[in-house]
Amino acid sequence: MKFVVLPNAAAIGLAVGDVICDLVRKKSDTVLGLATGASPLPTYQRMIDRCKTGEVSFKDVRTFNLDEYCDLPETHPCSYHYFMRKELFDQVGILPEHTHFLDGNTVDEGAESQRYSALIEQNGGIDLQLLGIGRNGHIGFNEPSENFTQESFKVALTDSTIAANSRYFRDIPMPKCAMTMGIGLILRARKIILIATGSEKATAIKAMLEGSVTPRCPASALQKHPEVAVFLDPAAAALLNEN
Ligand code: F6R
């Protein structure tokens, strides 16, 4: 797996935002797999800035998000639907009908998982999947476990993830479950970019890049993918042998 260390989150945002914009300029109907959380925000800002100058249009782009909380209305400010509209979609004019999410409120997770995989397939597959990484090595909400998952599924969030994300939930308790794309589905993307910044990600980054491939560190599955680029700041890269 290829990795690059840049000085800070802002520099990573410029670099990754430019990769995405250049891809969209070449293929206007690019299919993007998108993440929420803090890591992709500078990237989204770069996409917004280049869209505003007219250098790139996201009119024909299609998007598939990695995950969504269960038992939370889509309109709630803590939902990932809301996050994406606010942080990217509404600012770059991606058509709502081109944006896709797992339904965290589904009553039939098997049917929902099949629907999502089929929809990705019908759209020609994901050209570029953007990922962050959890402190525990999760990607999407694939928490450390005994098996790599394949398609989308409902997951019980771990204490580590709840501790990391509960700061966003001020007036309601954080949901304990989410629907997430599985590892197999993530690995079907043609290209993958993972972003990690900050010292709290350093242990997970070391396990992902230098450890064995194990579902105890879900991100280690990326070692099996031929086209992964990892963008790190010095703190996230601090424990790497080659750094
Ligand atoms: C978000 C997601 C998660 C985050 C990860 C890192 O859609 O799938 O895997 O990417 O928890 O979150 P941040 O970037 O907030 O540190």
Residue 55 inside a domain? The answer is yes
Range 122-145 average pLDDT: 97
Structural domains of the chain, count: 1
- CATH number for the domain that contains residue 31: 3.40.50.1360
- The structure's pTM equals 0.97
Burial 155-182, CB ≥16 within 10 A → b, else e: bebbebbeebbeeebeeeebbebbbbbb
Residue 243 inside a domain? The answer is no
Range 1-21 average pLDDT: 97
Q: Is the pLDDT of residue 176 over 80?
A: yes
For ligand 1, pick from 41, 133, 186 the residue to mutate: most ligand atoms within 8 Å of CB: 133
Residue 237 inside a domain? The answer is no
Range 219-242 average pLDDT: 97
What range defines the domain where residue 180 resides?
2-232
Q: Is 67 a catalytic residue?
A: yes
Give the per-residue SS3 of 150-200: CCCEEEECCHHHHHHHHHHCCCCCCCCEEEECCHHHHHCCCEEEEEECCHH
Residue 129 inside a domain? The answer is yes
Of 65, 136, 142, 165, which one is the catalytic site residue?
136
The number of the ligand 1 atom at minimal distance from the alpha carbon of 198 is 16
Residue found under tokens 């476990």 = 145
Q: Is the pLDDT of residue 25 over 90?
A: yes
> How do residues 178-217 score in pLDDT, each as one tens digit?
999 999 999 999 999 999 999 999 999 999 999 999 999 9
218 lines ligand 1 (CB under 6 A): no
pLDDT tier at 10, thresholds 50, 70, 90: very high
Q: Is 143 a catalytic residue?
A: yes
Query: Mean pLDDT score of the chain, rounded to an integer?
Result: 97
Residue 242 inside a domain? The answer is no
Q: Is the pLDDT of residue 242 over 80?
A: no
Residue 203 inside a domain? The answer is yes
- Which H/E stretch holds residue 33? strand 31-34
Give the residues across from 229 on adjacent strands: 2, 193
Of 67, 109, 112, 127, which one is the catalytic site residue?
67
CA atoms within 13 A on the CB side of 39: 26
pLDDT tier at 41, thresholds 50, 70, 90: very high
Residue 52 inside a domain? The answer is yes
pLDDT tier at 243, thresholds 50, 70, 90: low
37 lines ligand 1 (CB under 6 A): yes
Residue 57 inside a domain? The answer is yes
For ligand 1, pick from 12, 16, 39 the residue to mutate: most ligand atoms within 8 Å of CB: 39
Q: What is the pLDDT of residue 72?
A: 96
User: CB–CB of 208/132 below 8 Å?
Assistant: no
Q: What is the pLDDT of residue 171?
A: 86
